[in-house]
Amino acid sequence: MLSPARRSSVTTLLVVAALLLVVANAIRYGVTTEAFFTRHEKTIDGIAKVLEAALLIAGAIASYFRFFKGRTFSERGELTIAVAVIPATATHHLHAVSVRLKNIGPVSIWDPRIRLRIQHHAASRSDEVEVKGFRLEPTGSDEDATCIIDSDESALYHAEHLVDTRVWAVRYAAEVRSSAGDTWFAMTTVANAPSAAAATAGGAHGG
């Protein structure tokens, strides 16, 4: 099997050979003579105008797609992460993580798949894990369900996990990839301590 470099060289040689054959046949049949051009002046002029119009149309279409690439015909989304820290046990806090992908473009986002990595920061260690078991709200289906996000709508993914109280901060890095290959990222770091609202709610529930 030919390497890419050798394949490119062979392709170039074949193109040059084909062009030489075209020129040789043109000379053989008198296509390059002045008499031929004089005799077929109107036909050649018409073909030239058609080719010119075709090139202008092709250029306009190419410019249109180039200008609007990433705007009209591509997916656009806004990814955000929200984390609520709730007291759970004497040794662990419950982290409720919500990842929201909002479609801010004019086309639908098909089958977005989420990946969330978290890094625990503690006094003696720093480890990274991946969160599993996301639920897609409001349908309640699991992360393997197919989802379509229409323009100006959102998909909310939710997961919960326990974090050791010896961890003082947690970093969340979310990545969502659509079936079209577009990817969105978001990152946040939160203290491993219940917020005032969560603590109040937890205290009221416990009382």
DSSP string for 155-174: EEEEEEEEEETTEEEEEEEE
- pLDDT above 70 covers a percentage of the chain that reads 68
Q: Where in the chain is the domain with CATH 2.60.40.10?
A: 77-206
Q: What is the pTM of this model?
A: 0.57
Closest CA to 193 of 158, 165, 172: 165
Contact 168, 189 (CB under 8 A): no
DSSP letter assigned to residue 39: H
Task: Give the model confidence (pLDDT) of 131-151 as tens digits.
Answer: 665 665 544 455 555 688 988
Task: Give the model confidence (pLDDT) of 81-137 as tens digits.
Answer: 999 999 999 999 999 999 999 999 888 898 888 888 889 988 766 667 776 656 655
Rg, C-alpha atoms of the chain: 31
Superfamily of domain 77-206: Immunoglobulins (2.60.40.10)
Pair of tokens at residue 38: 């004089």
Q: Band of the pLDDT at 58, cuts 50, 70, 90?
A: confident
